[in-house]
Amino acid sequence: MLKVFLVEDEFVVREGIKNTIDWAAHGYEFCGEAGDGELAYSMIQKERPDIVITDIKMPFMDGLTLSSMIKSEFPWMEIIILTGYEDFQFARSAIKIGVSCYLLKPVNGDNLLKEVDALAEKIREKKAEREAAKRYEEEMRERTELEKRDFFNSLVKGGKNASELIAEAKKIEIDISALRYNVVLLKIWSDKHDIGEFSNSVLNVEDGVRKIAGDEGAIFFDFTVEGTALLFKGDDDKDIGRRIDRATARMKALFAEYKHIRYFGAIGQTVERITEIHTSFDWASRAFAHLYLTNENAFLVGSKEGLRPENNVDILSEINPQHIDRRLMKRFLRAGEPAEIPFFLEEYLNNIGDQALKSKMLRQYIAMDVYFCVADFAENELGLKRYEMEEKFTFPGPEVLADEERTRDFLLRILRNALELREDHSLGRYHDVMKDAIAYIAEHYSDDELSLNTLAAHVNFSPNHLSAIFKQETGQPFIKYLTDYRMNMAKELLRRSSKKSNEIGILVGYKDPHYFSYLFKKTQGMTPTQYRSMGHGDGEET
């Protein structure tokens, strides 16, 4: 019910307007009245009426001044001005302020109600459009997250100048300006599952991390399908250090609330320039490689002096070289990212010993061990036949073991091939998941509640994971795919039926007719009625 407020200094006129019209019967709430603009303004601030009816000439504060103040603070309110003065100057001033209607006294109740009804329809249309635009922005948030991920990749790959990066940030409404930067990489998972598998507690914790990051002025990125990155900004080294210390302390307290949550974080080095963020990322990646070399929860700092703890950063237990076994390599083969290979291998070898590849005998042992570990992974976890495996991975012969550099190249290559093979295997698995997801959309597109979350629950993936896979497999975000699918079905119905557009909206998943009309015009460049009238449909809308 829309609210109406009356401002009139003449008591008899005020009572007449208030009592002549049965406001409630016509769908309005008469929410208040005042005898001058000064009293009215504070009451209007409290009541927030949709329509204000005000006299133009009053003591203490006139109607034009009141209207100007209302429009300044509440631009969405509609105003009707009443006056007994036939002065065009008043009318011109009222129009300039943004007053909707200018009526001369004495005012007939029917005429006033007619103007109020016209404004009410205008208000409802505007409100529906605002709600539709808000819902559209919310639904497009998935696309924004994917754009943020692409932007972070631009930051950490290097090669772009400051103006290019700033322009990219502005496009997705990210404030990237600061005097110092530092990157923190973070992976969260449940110890009930392998690294990266989905659980509701992980989603809850990720939401908590987003809030903590925001409180400390950091930007949250879904960096990989299963990992996140926080870009901290500060005024100087101490400022950014304090922000990271506070954030890591709060995150550890958050993680402790969940019994089965595991986490591993890596902190880079502080840099001064946007174009140096990739350097901070490299140091964080170096520390992050230890994720696959330990079973401990930790936040580590990557530095030129090696890995070191800071105030609120856990101390990682020393890793005994005797414990560097195939389980750690398998851990990386299952969950590692291609970009992490050089960092992982360096830390893997460092934990064996500084001279790990100096000795030919040790080189042979390491190369053979990695080869057999990769072969076992490919055969038993990816399902490769023995002959297929031998085609993919070269056995480390004498030429590989000739010197330290060749052995290192061999190890990098075999790990890279293994992860590529894992990705190919995953794509095959994802193909079945996507086939199921697409079929589910085709069956449930008319359900107004269909969302990325409901689809993710159906295929047993986390929403972030499914979003990344969906974009990878279809070339577009889930919400765009769903919107396009629904719009195509709507156009089909507009062409082949005489159903009204609001009925068609319900049939394709939009219970709100205003939102359906808004979205159709937003995506197709015309309203449903215009689409049909341009010869796209056989039926006529009634």
313 and 325 share one domain: no
Residues listed for the chain: 542
Angle of helix 404-444 relative to helix 326-335, nearest 10 degrees, comes to 40
Kindly report the CATH number assigned to the domain that includes residue 52.
3.40.50.2300
Most confidently predicted of 196-205, 394-403, 454-463, 516-525: 516-525
Identify the pLDDT of residue 63.
Answer: 84
Cβ atoms within 10 Å, residue 132: 20
Identify the pLDDT of residue 245.
Answer: 94
Domain membership flag for residue 438: no
Kindly report the CATH number assigned to the domain that includes residue 529.
1.10.10.60
288 and 166 share one domain: yes
281 and 397 share one domain: no
Residue 283: pLDDT above 80? yes
254 and 289 share one domain: yes
By mean pLDDT, which of 93-102, 151-160, 399-408 is the weakest?
93-102
Summary mean pLDDT of the chain: 82
**Share of residues in the chain with pLDDT > 70 (%):** 87
Residue 300 Cα distances to 30, 175, 212, 277, angstroms? 63, 27, 18, 18
Domain membership flag for residue 482: yes
Contacts of 66 (CB under 8 A, 6+ apart): 7, 37, 40, 41, 52, 54
Domain membership flag for residue 431: no
Last residue of a domain, one of 317, 349, 373: 317
Query: Model confidence over 162-198: pLDDT tens digits?
Result: 999 999 999 888 999 999 999 999 988 876 544 444 4
Domain membership flag for residue 458: yes
Question: What mean pLDDT is predicted for residues 405-417?
Answer: 89
Reported confidence tier of residue 426, pLDDT bands at 50, 70, 90 = low
Which one, of 218, 158, 205, 203, lies nearest residue 339 by Cα? 158
Domain membership flag for residue 440: no
Identify the pLDDT of residue 320.
Answer: 38
385 and 490 share one domain: no
Q: What angle do CA 361, 362, 368 make, to 5 degrees?
A: 90
Question: What mean pLDDT is predicted for residues 422-442?
Answer: 80
Cis omega (within 30 of 0) on the bond before 106? yes
Structure tokens at 393: 């991975």
| Parallel, antiparallel or unpaired: strands 180-190 and 28-34 | unpaired
62 and 14 share one domain: yes
401 and 507 share one domain: no
152 and 298 share one domain: yes
Identify the pLDDT of residue 150.
Answer: 85
Domain membership flag for residue 35: yes
Residue 58: pLDDT above 50? yes
Total domains present in the chain: 4
* 184 vs 58 pLDDT, higher one: 184
116 and 73 share one domain: yes
Query: Model confidence over 63-80: pLDDT tens digits?
Result: 888 988 998 888 888 998
What percentage of the chain's residues is helix, strand, coil (to nearest 5)? Answer: 60, 10, 30
Domain membership flag for residue 385: yes
| CA separation for the pair 223, 115 (Å, rounded) | 55
Cβ atoms within 10 Å, residue 355: 10
Last residue of a domain, one of 256, 290, 317: 317
21 and 99 share one domain: yes
Reported confidence tier of residue 387, pLDDT bands at 50, 70, 90 = low
The count of C-alpha atoms lying within 13 angstroms of the C-alpha of 455, restricted to the half-sphere facing its C-beta, is 29
Question: What mean pLDDT is predicted for residues 328-356?
Answer: 79
Kindly report the CATH number assigned to the domain that includes residue 217.
3.30.70.270
94 and 193 share one domain: no
Last residue of a domain, one of 392, 426, 460: 426
Domain that holds residue 400: 321-426
153 and 280 share one domain: yes
Residue 261 β-bridge partners: 190
Query: Model confidence over 287-339: pLDDT tens digits?
Result: 887 777 677 788 988 765 555 555 554 433 333 344 446 677 888 888 788 88
